[in-house]
Amino acid sequence: MGSAYALDDALLFLNPAQAAMIDAFTAQIIPSEAGSPGAREAAVTSYIDRSLAGFMRDLQSVYRTGLRELADLVAGRYSVGFVQLSEEQQRDVVASLDQVSRADPSDFLGQFYRIVREHTVQGFFGDPAYGGNRGVVGWKLVGFPGAQWGYSPEQMRPGVDAKSIPILTVKDLYTRIGGTR
């Protein structure tokens, strides 16, 4: 069984059970490893929850329906909920949805999987202001320096180690600009 979902943010759209399911599901899309945080540590669930309460409210119904149909699919196969499955079983479910989404683009659960996958990537690699990418773990993973005002001509040269550039968020940039005014 995957790690338990820790409810440390107030939920704005999802209910706690839905949030736990999203948390387990997105953890299979970008998994955690020892010393290498994944979607769970990045708080992707908070990103999705906040987005559904705001910018993505048109997708509220898709999420409600998708989570219910996913629960039905899992119950039919394993007689328990997605959250209670082992890591391996959860991985198998996600892999089967990935397969379906490519084989039949009209399949609703396949579409739901693609939507959640997209939002997982957004929550993992977007600015932390949106509730995800906590501790800029997504940017650290790949070496993206984030919200930089600019780069010098020296930094534009080949051979510069991107991971040596201190990462900045949008909020950091506001702080820096405020300091120069």
Partner 1 sequence: MTDRYDAIIVGMGSAGGILAEQLTKAGAKVLGLEKGPDYTQDDFEIKHDELRYYQRGAIVAGVNVDPVTWRPDENARARVLPWSAGALGIDEPLYGLPSIGTGGGTLHWGCAAYRFREADFRMKSAIAERFGEQALPEGSTVADWPISYDDLEPYYEMVEHEQGISGRAGNVRGVLAEGTNPFDPPRRNDYPMPPITQGPGDVPFVEATKRLGMHPFRQPLALNSVEYKGRSACVNCGFCHGFPCHVKAKSTTQVTSVPEAKATGNLDLRSQSRVLRINRSADGREVRGVTYVDAHDVPHDVEAPIVILTAYALENVRLMLVSGINANGEVGQHFMTHNFGWFTSILPEATNPFIGTFNASSAIDDFTSERVPDNDLGVLWGSPIISVTGDLQPIEAYHNMDPRVPKFGLDLKHWMRDNYLHMHRMYSQTTNFPYRRHYCDLDPVVKDRWGQPALRITHDWEDHDADSVTLMGRYKELIAREMGAKSYWTDSPRPPYHLSTHDVGVHRMGEDPATSVTDIYGEVHECRGLYAIGGGQFVSYGGYNPNQTIQALAYFSSEQLLSQHGALGTFRRGVNAT
- By CB under 8 A, name the binding residues for partner 1: 28-31, 33, 36, 38, 55, 59, 62, 91, 94-95, 98, 105-106, 111, 114-115, 117-118, 121-122, 125-127, 129-130, 138-139, 141-153, 155-162, 170, 173-174, 177
Nearer CB in complex with partner 1: 13/139: 139
Whole-number minimum distance, CB 19 to partner 1, in Å?
Answer: 20
Whole-number minimum distance, CB 3 to partner 1, in Å?
Answer: 16
Whole-number minimum distance, CB 170 to partner 1, in Å?
Answer: 6
168 three-class SS: strand
Q: What is the separation of C-alpha 164 from the centre of its chain, rounded to a whole number of angstroms?
A: 25
Nearer CB in complex with partner 1: 19/146: 146
> 148 and 66 in contact (C-beta within 8 Å)?
no
Nearer CB in complex with partner 1: 15/174: 174
Nearer CB in complex with partner 1: 7/160: 160
Nearer CB in complex with partner 1: 84/148: 148
> 42 and 56 in contact (C-beta within 8 Å)?
no
Backbone angles phi, psi at 148, to 5 degrees: -95, 135
C-alpha angle 142-39-119 in degrees, rounded to nearest 5: 90
Q: CA 44 to CA 133: how far, in whole Å?
A: 7
Whole-number minimum distance, CB 7 to partner 1, in Å?
Answer: 24
Long-range contacts of range 87-91, CB-CB < 8 Å, 24 or more positions apart?
A: 87/1, 87/2, 90/2, 90/24, 90/25, 90/27, 90/28, 91/28
Whole-number minimum distance, CB 100 to partner 1, in Å?
Answer: 13
